[in-house]
């Protein structure tokens, strides 16, 4: 269709418009579009000034009046190849595939389209968000996380404007599928590098790196490595560990591969004697078998398959890379077929516990690589790419393990004296001081069970080593904890390990071990758990008191104990960065919302926020809900609940989504679940409640609804909404009694939209 100067020139109302007009004309165009019922707009134009009354705000207000969503301005556009939509300025039309690409930079988006075209890689969708006036990175992560056509998400990022929303969306997406990130907007060793719109890059790159790790994102150096990782992520099973075996017909390439593996932190698998004997019988030369396994250049396809099958049965092997060098006398296609069939057989045999197998067929022709492609075997042109791809799988497995950790807002490892700590901080604040004196510091640390060693006494005490623990406020991500193993990186951020609070013991150990890896000193003879416990305690203190603005503690291991040898703590007016009246980018498990409810006939139930370990109990609970009740809740008669479905129910970040699970105090069975999910603006939240079918009419639904309302109000949400089937008369009656308005859905007469204005009453 040809471009049109006005919407009135069209004979229909489009769902999406692409705006290329000068910035001065865009507000009027969007106002007209919204009035006509246009659902969305992609703004390719640039040059929008900001500030009160500026065009930026005019565009935002025009969109909000009608609910129209905006991509841009300063966007390259969007493309959904599967839907034959290409509303972008890319030089190539993206081909259809299963990778989603999201970029803040139009230039990077254009480069990605070109890079993908050269590699014959297709997209499920491509979005250049531009200046993120409305639709942002987090919104796109939400969409592609649930998109069944998307296998993995590729993300280019320059800076984050709403860290809480970004972390929430990133963690949710990474739980479902691999998310790979490349960040520009920074220059190594330069925290003040220029970023988007000519502004200084917000937040140090080390802090972004810590945030990516916490969110479960895999960071890559550039587009090439990103697409390399996309070749393997989502196509190969994740390894249980990082022990790799290399099967090769080129001994020198095998050695190079092992060297690369160890350089990247992988482990050369040590083959068991029985495995070595089996390989010796299977290999053509019959010589000694070690890792890398040299199969010789004249090996037959069947011998490749036999050796690979032996390696995959070895318990000390977590994955295998097969390296084959094509020559004029080898049947590379037949070898590719044998390897592919062996991999398929092992996947059928081991199912979820199958091990990843990657291939590097050096110099192979298109026929051989096509065989590997058809079999779904990730393959690479050279051996080092295959090794890096295996390590991407290892890192993804490690980040997935970390994602299951949800630190509590009150640690179970110790009992802090919050009242004493609050008195100390309040006294200093009342006097207008920005620092606690040495006595107050010692008392504050003692309130969190951290003993202090007087500075004068320190000279007389033999110290076996320490970790310097610090905290500073990052303008993007809020409080950031730092740890320096040898004390030599105090003045530079690049020598320290960074992490976002809150933390539990698992995260704290990872934090401490990361600092040890960065240390220039010899490995310390200290108890890592002792240091991790101190990190957990300080993490809890930071979460408890937003007035803590700066922290630096020299922890020493002396006389068998851990002491604060020297410490400095700064206080100031609390900085609230995010919705929910908090400054933590990662929300802790809200233990303060654990409560007892007394319902009809003095029936007492225990209610708490849902946790990932609740999945088996939730599955059992759903099995005791009638199909008719499931249809009323899910608007469909769902009969099966796969792991992916249940994982979305129980794995929350307690930021934009919240769920409460109710237990019968007598039997400890799950008897009900209530949840809400906020919109992207954190203004409105949609609720849902499901009860065990044999327990309806006892006041449980009412109690859970009141709890949701209290929680939503405490979060500062403006309204609570829901969709209820017309036939669900008990729910509609309860909503009306609680003050909800009810209106039949304009598009589906069988649904009723209910709304409670939380700012009233």
Secondary structure, 3-state, 494-558: HHCEEECCCCCHHHHHHHHHHHHHHCCCCCCCCCHHHHHHHHHHHHHHHHHCCCEEEEEEEEEEE
Q: Is 634 a domain residue?
A: yes
Q: Is 584 a domain residue?
A: no
Cα distances (angstroms) measured from residue 272 to each of 177, 248, 287, 311, 354: 34, 19, 16, 10, 19
Q: Is 581 a domain residue?
A: no
User: Is the pLDDT confidence value at 692 over 70?
Assistant: yes
pLDDT the model gives residue 53? 74
Query: Does 226 share its domain with 248?
Result: no
For 605, residues 6+ apart whose C-beta sits below 8 A from its C-beta are 596, 597, 599, 662, 663, 664, 665, 671, 672, 700, 703
Mean pLDDT of 97-119: 93
**Pair of tokens at residue 719:** 């309204």
Q: Where are the beta strands (DSSP E) in 348-493?
A: 357-362, 379-380, 463-474, 478-484
User: Is the pLDDT confidence value at 600 over 60?
Assistant: yes
pLDDT the model gives residue 76? 96
> Residue 588 — very low, low, confident or very high, per pLDDT cuts 50/70/90?
confident
Least reliable range by pLDDT among 145-159, 205-219, 276-290: 276-290
Query: Does 650 share its domain with 523?
Result: no
Q: Is 14 or 454 the better-scoring residue by pLDDT? A: 14
Query: Does 64 share its domain with 146?
Result: yes
Q: Is 288 a domain residue?
A: yes
Q: Where are the alpha helices (DSSP H) in 351-409?
A: 366-374, 383-403
Q: Is 44 or 504 the better-scoring residue by pLDDT? A: 44
How many whole angstroms separate alpha carbon 461 and alpha carbon 610? Answer: 47
Mean pLDDT of 284-313: 87
Mean pLDDT of 428-440: 95
Least reliable range by pLDDT among 220-224, 373-377, 645-649: 645-649
Q: Domain containing 527 — which CATH number?
A: 3.30.470.20
> Residue 640 — very low, low, confident or very high, per pLDDT cuts 50/70/90?
confident
Q: What is the pTM of this model?
A: 0.85
**Pair of tokens at residue 42:** 């992609």
> Residue 488 — very low, low, confident or very high, per pLDDT cuts 50/70/90?
very low
For the chain, what is the domain count? Answer: 4
Least reliable range by pLDDT among 181-185, 250-254, 572-576, 706-710: 572-576
Least reliable range by pLDDT among 18-32, 216-230, 537-551, 638-652: 638-652
Angle at 587 between CA 192 and CA 446, to 5 degrees: 90
Q: Is 585 a domain residue?
A: no
Query: Does 376 share its domain with 285?
Result: yes
Q: Which of 145, 208, 148 is nearest to 171 (CA)?
A: 145
User: Is the pLDDT confidence value at 738 over 90?
Assistant: yes
Q: Is 520 or 745 the better-scoring residue by pLDDT? A: 745
Q: Are the C-beta atoms of residues 164 and 157 closer than 8 Å to each other?
A: no
Q: Are the C-beta atoms of residues 554 and 468 closer than 8 Å to each other?
A: yes
Residue that has been written with the tokens 């905290």 in this structure: 471
> Residue 29 — very low, low, confident or very high, per pLDDT cuts 50/70/90?
very high
Average pLDDT across the chain, whole number: 86
Helix (H) or strand (E) holding 118: helix 106-119
Query: Which residue among 403, 434, 463 closes a domain?
Result: 403
Q: Domain containing 295 — which CATH number?
A: 3.40.50.261
User: Is the pLDDT confidence value at 315 over 90?
Assistant: yes
Query: Does 134 share its domain with 222?
Result: yes
Q: Is 583 a domain residue?
A: no
Instruction: List b or e across 159-195, with b for residues whose CB sees 16 or more CB atoms inside 10 angstroms.
Output: bbebbbbbbbbbbbbbbbbbbbbbbbbbeeeebeeeb
How many whole angstroms separate alpha carbon 243 and alpha carbon 245? Answer: 7
Query: Which residue among 380, 403, 426 closes a domain?
Result: 403
Query: Does 741 share its domain with 707?
Result: yes
pLDDT the model gives residue 413? 58
> Residue 1 — very low, low, confident or very high, per pLDDT cuts 50/70/90?
low
Q: Are the C-beta atoms of residues 368 and 379 closer than 8 Å to each other?
A: no
Query: Does 146 share its domain with 212?
Result: yes
Query: Which residue among 202, 231, 260 closes a domain?
Result: 231
Query: Does 227 share its domain with 251?
Result: no
Mean pLDDT of 135-155: 94
> Residue 461 — very low, low, confident or very high, per pLDDT cuts 50/70/90?
very low
> Residue 362 — very low, low, confident or very high, per pLDDT cuts 50/70/90?
very high
Per-residue pLDDT tens digits for 545-562: 989 999 999 888 777 678
Mean pLDDT of 605-614: 91
How many whole angstroms separate alpha carbon 623 and alpha carbon 321? Answer: 43
User: Is the pLDDT confidence value at 523 over 60?
Assistant: no
Q: Which of 193, 192, 200, 129 is nearest to 166 (CA)?
A: 129
Per DSSP bridges, beta strands 751-757 and 77-80 are: unpaired
Cα distances (angstroms) measured from residue 115 to each of 110, 225, 226, 725: 9, 11, 11, 48
Mean pLDDT of 139-146: 94
Angle at 138 between CA 75 and CA 74, to 5 degrees: 10
Mean pLDDT of 705-726: 93
Q: Is 53 a domain residue?
A: yes
Q: Domain containing 741 — which CATH number?
A: 3.40.630.30
Query: Does 394 share its domain with 462?
Result: no
Query: Does 301 share its domain with 191?
Result: no
User: Is the pLDDT confidence value at 138 over 80?
Assistant: yes
Query: Does 144 share its domain with 253?
Result: no
Query: Does 218 share its domain with 252?
Result: no
User: Is the pLDDT confidence value at 491 over 50?
Assistant: no
pLDDT the model gives residue 64? 84
Cα distances (angstroms) measured from residue 167 to each of 24, 105, 112, 439, 692: 34, 20, 24, 37, 33
Q: Is 586 a domain residue?
A: no
User: Is the pLDDT confidence value at 481 over 90?
Assistant: yes
Per DSSP bridges, beta strands 548-558 and 463-474 are: antiparallel
Per-residue pLDDT tens digits for 198-233: 333 445 889 999 999 999 999 999 998 898 888 788
Q: What is the domain extent for residue 731? A: 592-757
Q: Which of 543, 494, 546, 544 is nearest to 520 (CA)?
A: 494
Per-residue pLDDT tens digits for 664-675: 877 679 999 999
């Amino acid at each position: 269709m040809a471009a049109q100067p006005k919407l009135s020139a069209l004979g229909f109302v489009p769902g999406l418009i692409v705006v290329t007009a000068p910035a001065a004309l865009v507000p009027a165009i969007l106002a007209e579009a919204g009035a006509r019922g246009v659902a969305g707009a992609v703004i390719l134009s640039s040059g929008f000034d900001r500030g009160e009354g500026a065009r930026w705000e005019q565009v935002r207000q025009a969109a909000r009046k009608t609910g129209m969503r905006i991509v841009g301005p300063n966007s390259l556009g969007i493309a959904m190849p599967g839907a034959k939509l290409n509303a972008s300025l890319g030089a190539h039309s993206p081909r259809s595939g299963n990778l989603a690409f999201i970029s803040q930079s139009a230039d990077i988006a254009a480069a990605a389209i070109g890079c993908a075209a050269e590699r014959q890689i297709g997209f499920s969708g491509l979005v250049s968000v531009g200046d993120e006036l409305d639709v942002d990175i987090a919104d796109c992560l939400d969409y592609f996380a649930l998109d069944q056509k998307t296998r993995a998400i590729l993300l280019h990022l320059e800076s984050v404007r709403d860290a809480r929303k970004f972390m929430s969306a990133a963690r949710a997406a990474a739980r479902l599928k691999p998310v790979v990130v490349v960040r520009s907007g920074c220059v190594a060793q330069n925290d003040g590098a220029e970023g988007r719109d000519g502004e200084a890059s917000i937040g140090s790159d080390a802090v972004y790196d810590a945030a990516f790790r916490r969110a479960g994102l895999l960071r890559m150096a550039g587009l090439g490595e990103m697409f390399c990782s996309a070749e393997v992520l989502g196509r190969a099973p994740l390894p249980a560990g990082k022990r790799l075996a290399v099967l090769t017909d080129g001994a020198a390439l095998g050695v190079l591969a092992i060297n690369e593996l160890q350089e990247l932190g992988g482990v050369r698998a040590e083959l068991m004697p029985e495995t070595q004997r089996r390989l010796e019988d299977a290999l053509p030369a019959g010589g000694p078998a070690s890792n890398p396994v040299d199969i010789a250049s004249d090996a037959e396809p069947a011998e490749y398959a036999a050796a690979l099958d032996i390696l995959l049965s070895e318990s000390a092997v977590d994955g295998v890379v097969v390296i084959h060098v094509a020559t004029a006398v080898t049947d590379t296609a037949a070898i590719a077929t044998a390897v592919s069939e062996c991999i398929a057989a092992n996947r059928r045999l081991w199912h979820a516990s199958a091990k990843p197998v990657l291939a590097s067929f050096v110099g192979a022709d298109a026929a051989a690589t096509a065989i590997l492609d058809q079999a779904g075997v990730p393959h690479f042109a050279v051996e080092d790419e295959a090794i890096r791809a295996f390590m991407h799988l290892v890192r993804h497995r490690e980040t997935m393990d970390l994602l299951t950790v949800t630190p509590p807002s009150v640690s179970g490892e110790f009992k802090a004296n919050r009242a004493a700590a609050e008195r100390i901080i309040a006294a200093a604040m009342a006097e207008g001081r920005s620092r606690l004196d040495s006595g107050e510091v010692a008392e504050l640390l003692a309130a969190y069970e951290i003993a202090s060693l007087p500075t004068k006494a320190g000279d007389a005490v033999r110290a076996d080593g320490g970790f310097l623990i610090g905290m500073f406020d990052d303008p993007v991500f809020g409080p950031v904890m730092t740890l320096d193993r040898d004390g030599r990186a105090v003045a530079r951020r690049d020598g320290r390990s960074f992490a976002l609070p809150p933390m539990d013991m698992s995260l704290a150990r990872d934090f401490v071990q990361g600092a040890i890896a960065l240390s220039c000193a010899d490995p310390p003879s200290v108890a890592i758990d002792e240091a991790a416990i101190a990190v957990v305690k300080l993490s809890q203190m930071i979460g408890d008191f937003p007035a803590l603005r700066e922290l630096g503690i020299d922890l020493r291991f002396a006389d068998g104990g851990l002491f604060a040898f020297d410490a400095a703590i700064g206080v100031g007016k609390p900085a609230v960065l995010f919705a929910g009246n908090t400054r933590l980018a990662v929300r802790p498990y809200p233990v303060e919302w654990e409560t007892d409810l007394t319902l009809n006939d003095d029936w007492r139930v225990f209610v708490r926020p849902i946790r990932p370990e609740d999945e088996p109990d939730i599955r059992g609970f759903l099995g005791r809900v009638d199909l008719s009740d499931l249809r009323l809740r899910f608007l469909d008669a769902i009969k099966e609940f796969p792991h992916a479905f249940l994982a979305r129910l129980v794995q929350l970040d307690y930021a934009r989504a919240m769920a409460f699970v109710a237990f019968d105090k007598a039997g400890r069975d799950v008897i009900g679940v209530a949840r809400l999910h906020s919109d992207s603006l954190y203004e409105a939240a949609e609720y849902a409640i499901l009860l065990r079918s044999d327990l309806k009419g006892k006041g449980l639904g009412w109690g859970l609804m009141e709890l949701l309302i209290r929680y939503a109000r405490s979060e500062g949400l403006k309204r609570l909404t829901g969709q209820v089937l017309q036939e669900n008369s008990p729910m509609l009656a309860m909503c009306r009694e609680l003050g909800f308005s009810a209106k039949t859905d304009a598009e589906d007469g069988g649904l009723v939209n209910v709304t409670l204005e939380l700012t009233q009453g």
